[in-house]
Amino acid sequence: MLMRLGITGGIGSGKSFVAEILKNKGVKVFSADEIANDLTENDKAIRRKIIEAFGAASYNSTTNALDRSYIAHIVFSNQKKLHELNSIVHPAVIRSIEQQCKRVEHDAAVPYIGIEAALVFESGLYKNLDYVLGIVADDEVRTGRVMKRDGLTDKEIMRRMNSQLPVEQIVEKADFILYNNETEDVLRSKVEFFHSLFLTLPSQRKQ
């Protein structure tokens, strides 16, 4: 049974970059965000629930795609609405991840499975994992990255940070912590170290 590693961290921490490095090393990495995006676009039941909760404007009338900026504007300024959205999407995401993990569970070419997710602990996803790697960085570093990447304002970034688990709690809950305040080369070196370690770790889950 392949070991499952959660890769988590707040917005701008660099978890997606870490996941990409591990993918290039043959690790099978599933992205909770990518799965959630697919489900909100293509799962009819989820689409219906989102429209019921957030209105017809949730989906673009021309493209029929989820209007992410509209949803973000609502949920990142209203914790109740954020919880409502998560309660619609998270259970389906966890089911999908479990199904996809089982498809590669006995693939000899895969050293271990990675699951990249911002809300590993909040969603309960951690219960299906063996270990969690937390990616953390200073707030000002994260803010600079997100501004450059997404063009969000300070206020918008802080709302998103405040909606996620505080760094201190990630440090407390995760099995391993990678500090990502430096260059991409330094990050690659750290990921190399952790990858070598993860190759030696067995699965702890019950059969």
Residue 92 has pLDDT above 70, yes or no: yes
**What is the DSSP code string of 124-184?**
SGGGG-SEEEEEE--HHHHHHHHHHHH---HHHHHHHHHTS--HHHHHHH-SEEEE--S-H
- Residue-wise pLDDT for 56-68, tens only, equals 999 998 998 999 9
Phi–psi pair at 156, nearest 5 degrees: -65, -40
Query: Which range (143-152, 186-195, 198-207) has the least confidence?
Result: 198-207
- Residue-wise pLDDT for 10-36, tens only, equals 999 999 999 999 999 999 999 999 999
User: What is the average pLDDT score of the chain?
Assistant: 95
| Res 87: pLDDT | 96
| Res 207: pLDDT | 57
| Res 106: pLDDT | 87
CA distance 31 to 115: 6
Q: What is the token pair recorded at 124?
A: 């309960």
Domains belonging to the chain, first-starting first, are 4-198 (3.40.50.300)
